[in-house]
Amino acid sequence: MSEAFDVARWRPAPFLPERETRDRALVFVVAVLCYLACVTGLAVIAADRAASGWSRQLSSEVTVIVRGGAGLTPDAAAAAAAETLAGVPGVSEARALEARKAYDLVRPWIGDVAEVEELPVPRLVAVSLDRKRPPDAATLRRALKAQGLDAIVDDHSLWLKDVRRAAGIARGLAAVVFLLVAAAAGAVAASATRAGLAAQRPVVEVLRLAGAEEGFIAGLFQARFARAAALAGTIGAGAAALTGAALRLAGGGEGLTPALPFAWVDLLAVLPCPVLAALVAGLAARLAVRRIGDGTP
Amino acid sequence: MSRNPVAAAAADIDEVVRFDAVSMRYGRGAEVLRDISFSLAPGSFHFITGPSGAGKSSLLKLIYLAAQPSAGEIRLFGEDLARTPTRRWPELRRRMGLVFQDLLLLDHLTAFDNAAAPLRIAGARPSDYRADVAELLAWVGLGARMGAFPPELAGGEKQRLAIARAVVARPQILLADEPTSNVDAQAALRIYRLFVELNRLGTTVLIATHDQDLVARSGRPALHLEGGRLAWRAPQGPAAA
């Protein structure tokens, strides 16, 4: 070996051993945690989108129950209500539903009745609102009253409140789980980094006693462990993206389920994972080198 | 080896090392060094002698800043260590060459990489020191072993590699802790002659050893430690180098 040594072609070798079994363990553990963090992150995004969708849908629709009007049949009253509401600023569309739909709504309580048309069932008017400047329920009520129509405006506010609360809880829980998994990934990365660093303590000692600055030593370890964590983050994020893609494909156009919509663009959310893992591991290495200290009391 | 320019610069100061009433203890234990006072002039050559546990290694640790005194004042290259911020310690250490009892060679690096380490740490470019390192390794008798890794080297070769690493950056002072403890008498003599040659080039040398024969044959002065206290010993015989 020594006979083949060529001084002219010599290049400095890395101060730290290039391959360590310990590094593989670090990569594996951090990759698994990064995977879990990314999958949870994707679930947070899907939950957020679902919550926003439910709220948007409920707040942009109003149902008006028309009980009648002076001298008007129920169908005529519903038509008049739809016409009135369509003229209110902020209303995109007002459509009187067919009488059959109103009967369908009460059928579970009254059962199949032969001549349902003769029953005094109120008619329904579905109102779509402009999402940018929707009128409130009171404005709609005033417009209907001005035409002498007997109607109830249901703006879904009760439902909306419940849905928003439920969505907020789901969103918050998912975010907490994500933060916990991300924190665990960071802690494991830091711990594994410190363990790897402890194994290299003799190298640290030699470098320090040879006059190496703290920054020089920290830089060596920072670069090494940041690289290992970045690799782990890439593996974890890649696996999470594949999982997300599989769920998107399995879920068809809705992406997973209508209740938990998932979009292709959501997969981009895993991109910061390798960088964050590298930052955490690099920072942990720097702090650990500092903690080893200067060998003096 | 050419004349040591760093050692020449050291001639500007009166003392490379100065201890005034220095004591030292590990943690809350008993003092391992008590009321030690001495100074080393630039270009001098001294031994530290004494039985095991006398405090030889501890004294060296104080000089290479791996330990701090519990009392007294230490001056290195004219600087009072108590007033020197720790961020400047690496700079002071780069002016020293260290040969440790357990050598502390990096097993994953070749002999050439081990020897070149202090120059890399100092920020020198490989093209500037490549030839110097090769010359130095040849000088210590490792010219044919430059690509070997420490586990492939014999005991004496490892010692010489450690010495090469210690002197490659032209330190003002060379500190060696039992550098001949793991080699036979012939190898010990060869290592000692390397130290003498370095000293002739201007490097201050301080060697801790329990090898009384070597000290006696060298004709060099010794700082004798006994129970943590220091006693000067004048040269005891003719120089062996």
Q: Which residues on chain A are in Cβ contact (under 8 Å) with B109?
A: 13, 15
Q: Using one digit for the tens of pLDDT, what is the confidence trace for B19-33?
A: 999 999 998 889 999
Q: For residue B43, give the nearest of B211, B156, B192, B199 by alpha carbon.
A: B199
- Contact state of B104 with A206 under an 8 Å Cβ cutoff: yes
In chain B, where are the structural domains located? 1-95+173-241, 103-170
- Residue A173 or A109, more confident: A173
What are A271's two structure tokens? 């991109």
pLDDT recorded at residue A254? 57
Q: Which residues on chain B are in Cβ contact (under 8 Å) with A297?
A: 26-27, 67-68
- Contact state of A5 with B98 under an 8 Å Cβ cutoff: no
Angle at A277 between CA A271 and CA A282, to 5 degrees: 135
Q: Note whether B20 and B11 are within 8 A (CB).
A: no
Q: Note whether B121 and A15 are within 8 A (CB).
A: no
Is the CA virtual torsion B153, B157, B162, B164 positive or negative? negative
Instruction: Give ipTM to 2 decimals.
Output: 0.84
Q: Using one digit for the tens of pLDDT, what is the confidence trace for B168-186?
A: 998 999 999 998 877 777 7
Give the confidence band of A42 by pLDDT, cuts at 50, 70, 90: confident
Instruction: Give Rg (Cα) of chain A.
Output: 33
User: Rounded mean pLDDT of chain A?
Assistant: 80
Q: Which of A5, A6, A214, A289 to mutate to test the interface with B (most CBs of B within 10 A)?
A: A5
- Contact state of B98 with A203 under an 8 Å Cβ cutoff: no
Strands B17-25 and B71-76, by their bridges, are antiparallel
Q: How many residues does chain B have?
A: 241
- Residue B131 or A20, more confident: B131
- DSSP three-state, residue A103: helix
Which secondary structure element, helix H or strand E, spans residue B17, and what is its range? strand B17-25
Residue of A nearest to B106 (CA): A203
> What pTM was estimated for this model as a whole?
0.69
* CB within 8 Å of chain B, chain A residues 199-218: 202-203, 205-214, 216
* CB within 8 Å of chain A, chain B residues 161-190: 165, 169
* Residue A19 at interface with chain B, using a CB cutoff of 8 Å: no
* CB within 8 Å of chain A, chain B residues 204-233: none
The dihedral region occupied by B170, where left means phi > 0, alpha psi between -120 and 50, and beta the remainder, is left
Separation in Å, CA of B26 to nearest CA in chain A: 8
- Contact state of A296 with B67 under an 8 Å Cβ cutoff: yes
- Contact state of A211 with B93 under an 8 Å Cβ cutoff: yes
Residue A253 has pLDDT above 70, yes or no: no
Distance of alpha carbon A55 from alpha carbon B214, whole angstroms: 90
**Residue A18, amino acid:** E
pLDDT recorded at residue A295? 44
Q: Which residues on chain B are in Cβ contact (under 8 Å) with A213?
A: 90
Q: Could you tell me which residues come within 8 angstroms of residue B95 by beta carbon, excluding any fewer than 6 positions away?
A: B6, B77, B171, B172, B173
- Contact state of A214 with B122 under an 8 Å Cβ cutoff: no
- Contact state of A206 with B27 under an 8 Å Cβ cutoff: no
* Residue A21 at interface with chain B, using a CB cutoff of 8 Å: no
- Contact state of B112 with A11 under an 8 Å Cβ cutoff: no
Matching residue, tokens 């390397």: B194
Which secondary structure element, helix H or strand E, spans residue B231, and what is its range? strand B229-233
Distance of alpha carbon A80 from alpha carbon A129, whole angstroms: 18
Compare CB distances from A10 to B106, B130, B145 and report the shortest one's residue: B130
Q: Using one digit for the tens of pLDDT, what is the confidence trace for A98-111?
A: 777 777 776 777 77
Give the CATH superfamily of B1-95+173-241: P-loop containing nucleotide triphosphate hydrolases (3.40.50.300)
Distance of alpha carbon A137 from alpha carbon A61, whole angstroms: 11
Q: Which residues on chain B are in Cβ contact (under 8 Å) with A294?
A: 65, 86, 89
Q: Mean per-residue pLDDT for B93-116?
A: 93
Which secondary structure element, helix H or strand E, spans residue B76, and what is its range? strand B71-76
- Residue A229 or A296, more confident: A229
Compare CB distances from B104 to A2, A205, A213 and report the shortest one's residue: A205
Distance of alpha carbon A107 from alpha carbon A137, whole angstroms: 28
- Residue B138 or A116, more confident: B138
* Residue A295 at interface with chain B, using a CB cutoff of 8 Å: yes
Name the least confident of A118-127, A226-235, B222-231: A118-127
Q: Mean per-residue pLDDT for A262-280?
A: 86
Residue of A nearest to B133 (CA): A7
pLDDT recorded at residue B6? 47
- Contact state of A296 with B68 under an 8 Å Cβ cutoff: yes
Q: For residue B153, give the nearest of B182, B125, B193 by alpha carbon.
A: B182
pLDDT recorded at residue A256? 54
Q: Note whether A81 and A66 are within 8 A (CB).
A: yes
